[in-house]
Structure 1
């Protein structure tokens, strides 16, 4: 609870995102209590964690994903205390959007928005998620590459 209530944004967000892996009703209830007062990146982290706990918050999670450049760039800041970008908490959020994009048009559109503001290995990883979602829908991925 101290980590969730921390004034340090990185500590708070990392705790909320990592709590998605903990099967504990107390943690889930604490996150539900914080949801109504949360906004921006905190809201994304909380809805992600709640979605991962039960799957019931899928639409709230997707709705929390930003479409404007400034907020997307905050989401793309992949910072990890261990220095490993592959284990970064924010990457878990983007991967979850990619998983939902397999069957949800709004999630796919948001994933494409995130891709437009990404670069390097982030962009490559997100593009693979988009391609997988489009292939699962039977779309022509060659045409998609031209449009992105």
Structure 2
């Protein structure tokens, strides 16, 4: 594994919420991170859809880790703010959150994210979009 993946994976593995949700780090590249979340009734809301809290949590993490790939070694990132558009019901067997850095500054990084819902195959629907600002902080 490469150094960038290892850096993100160590931090990801330390997140109790991602472990509780059953999320898994799938892809790490400079400025982009993918996190997979399998559907579970434990994460559903009253209509049987994936709960917006779970959707938002994995999107926030994907955006945050995308920003961390651009931060200098020895620094961390935290979320300053985000906006989420929930565009359709979160129905699927699994979900893929993709976070991308749009602009990485010394202190602030602006990221966008999307979460895709997959059924049985490889076709998907984008169910939510996020815009987030991450702040670089000392470790």
Instruction: Provide TM-score, normalisation by structure 1.
Output: 0.27
Tell me which of the two structures has the higher relative contact order, counting C-alpha pairs closer than 8 angstroms and 6 or more residues apart: 2
Structure with more strand by fraction:
2
Structure with more helix by fraction:
1
